[in-house]
Amino acid sequence: MKLHRTLYPKLLLAYLLFFLLSFILISSFNSRMILNDLTRTRAESLYRESRLVATTYGKEIYNGGAVREDALLQLAAIDTFISAEIRVIDTGGRQILDSRSSVETVFSDFDPAAIGSYYMVGDFYGTYRDDYLSVFYPITAGYRVRGYVVIQMPMSDIYASRDRLLNISYLTMLFMYLLSLLVLVVFTFVVYIPIRRITTAAEEYARGHYEYDPSVRGRDEIGYLAETLYYMASEIGRSEDNQKKFIANVSHDFRSPLTSIRGYLTAMLDGTIPPELHEKYLKVVLNETDRLTKLTNGLLELNSLNTRGIVLTISDFDINQVIRQICETFDVLCREKKISIELILTGESLFVSGDMGKIQQVVANLVDNAIKFSHSNSIIRIETTEKSDKVFVSVKDSGIGIPDDAQKLVFDRFYKTDLSRGKDKKGTGLGLAITKEIIQAHNQNINVISTEGVGSEFIFTLAKAKEQEEE
């Protein structure tokens, strides 16, 4: 799968969209709200003024004459004080007073009752070129509305206030935008680039380049992810290497006996080996097939031990007894090589808990090795000892020994030391690998102590049987 759509452009797009939307929101919704609010507040304060005018001068104004002149002066004073034009208009639309002009005017459509509010915004019946805010207050006399006090001021003031407030909003928004841009930059370096690197690394791993280092450092989740991935890849790479080595070993170990079998058989068929010698060479061929069988069985066994959850049939059994039995089976071999086995066993019987069949196999493998790699006329010592809840079993020979650097390798599949190759042509190198798997399945340990040319000692542990512990 290839990465076609990356996250980044989407993020940028979302970011731009966010910016655009917030701009639209401020310029339309915010602007209207601010304007409405400012207008209403101003209208309210003008309304109070107009009520004052209406209640103070209302009656006198309709009386005419000198009183009206007096009121006009007062209105002019108020006008300069609050800087708003003040008119008095009667219900018919005829203007009675105007703080700023003495021209007789009639507003033919004048009908504040029809507006449905105490103020309006507009050109006031074509009087002004710009928008004005006009606030009305009725003058009543004799329980009848006679006219209205109208106070007016230009909206430009309010518009200016609104623009000031809007500018503050825009500035705040811009600031937030820059701040989030900073977040985006940080995100880019902290999240986006590392994730890109990890993706590239994963692609490399998919191609089989397990040594590729994503080079993402850091102790956060992403750094940890990269590290884990890198570790996983190197492990896969290693196990793949092991797999290759394993296959190479298997093929090699199968090929050499097959080649020799084929060689002998061809030689017999074409008469290179005369018929009277056939028996001798058929025995060799039989030996080789034995080795192949052993190899196949060993591999099958290792495989079954390797598959997770190997089933151990745990029971309590006498390890001393097992050792004695195994030694008996090697009797003939020992006699041939003039090797004697010395048993130093703790107690008459020593009960341990484990899979008896598998432990028998372990002991047999170790004794087999000890005999194979011992010189004739030597002694093999098998010892059992107790230590707290464990039983130690040691198989010690004074044979060819194992070189230091080979000691940790003898438990590997197919491993055979150079020393042993000449001595034992039949060995598969699987015996100790199987032994170790069995011991590990028991959650126990096996170790080797050896000196080249002096001898080797293999020691493994077993769990003591429960009843015996309590005794």
Give the interface with ligand ATP as residue ranges (CB under 6 A): 298, 365, 369-370, 373, 397, 399-402, 410, 415-417, 420, 424, 427-433, 456
Q: From the list ligand ATP, Mg ion, none, pick the one residue 417 interacts with, judged by a Cβ distance below 5 to 8 Å according to partner type.
A: ligand ATP
Task: Give the torsion sign (CA, 39, 40, 42, 47).
Answer: positive
Please say which residue, 369 or 468, places its beta carbon nearer to ligand ATP: 369
Compute the least distance from the CB of residue 253 to ligand ATP, in Å. Answer: 10
The number of helices, as runs of H, and strands, as runs of E, in the chain is 14, 12
CB of 410 to ligand ATP, least distance (A): 4
Query: Which CB sits closer to ligand ATP, 78 or 433?
Result: 433
- Residue 281's Cβ-side half-sphere holds a number of Cα atoms within 13 Å equal to 18
Which CB atom, from 374 or from 384, has the smaller least distance to ligand ATP? 374
Binding to Mg ion in span 94-153, by CB under 5 A: none
Whole-angstrom Cα distance, residue 68 to residue 381? Answer: 140
Alpha helices for 116-220 (secondary structure H) = 155-187, 193-206
CB 458 within 8 A of CB 395: yes
DSSP 3-state assignment of 460?
strand
Residue 420 binds: one of ligand ATP, Mg ion, none (C-beta under 5 to 8 A by kind) = ligand ATP
Binds 400: which of Mg ion, ligand ATP, none (CB < 5-8 Å by kind) = ligand ATP
369/398 with CB nearer Mg ion? 369
* Chain-centroid distance, C-alpha 420: 50
Nearest distance from residue 190's CB to ligand ATP, in Å? 52
Write down the least CB distance from residue 442 to Mg ion, Å: 19
Q: Name the segment binding Mg ion (CB under 5 A); options: 71-79, 94-102, 117-125, 424-432.
A: 424-432
Instruction: Tell me the DSSP string of 329-343.
Output: HTHHHHHHHT-EEEE
Count of residues near Mg ion by CB under 5 A: 2
Q: Which residues contact 346 (CB under 8 A, 6 or more apart)?
A: 320, 384, 385, 386, 391
Q: Which two tokens stand for residue 171?
A: 């500035």
Shortest distance (Å) from residue 407 CB to ligand ATP: 9
CA nearest to 330, candidates 319, 343, 318: 343
Taking the least distance from each CB to ligand ATP, the nearer of 58 and 427 is 427
Cβ nearer to ligand ATP, comparing 214 with 399: 399
Output 94-100 pairs: Cβ under 8 A, ≥24 positions apart. Answer: 96/61, 96/62, 96/68, 96/147, 97/61, 97/68, 97/71, 97/72, 99/72, 99/75, 100/76
Segment 431-470, which members bind Mg ion (CB under 5 A)?
Answer: 431
Token duo for residue 105: 């005017």
Q: Which does 370 bind (CB under 5 to 8 A by kind): ligand ATP, Mg ion, none?
A: ligand ATP
Taking the complex as a whole, the smallest distance from the CB of residue 368 to Mg ion amounts, in Å, to 5
Q: Which stretch binds Mg ion (CB under 5 A): 68-76, 211-219, 367-375, 386-394?
A: 367-375
CA distance 316 to 318: 7
Cα–Cα distance between 452 and 113 in angstroms, integer? 120
The minimum distance between CB 464 and Mg ion, in angstroms, equals: 27
Judged by CB under 5 A, which of 39, 99, 369, 417 binds Mg ion? Answer: 369
Cβ at position 351, least distance to ligand ATP in Å: 27
Q: 134 contacts which partner out of Mg ion, ligand ATP, none, CB within 5 to 8 A by kind?
A: none
Residues found near Mg ion in the complex (CB under 5 A):
369, 431
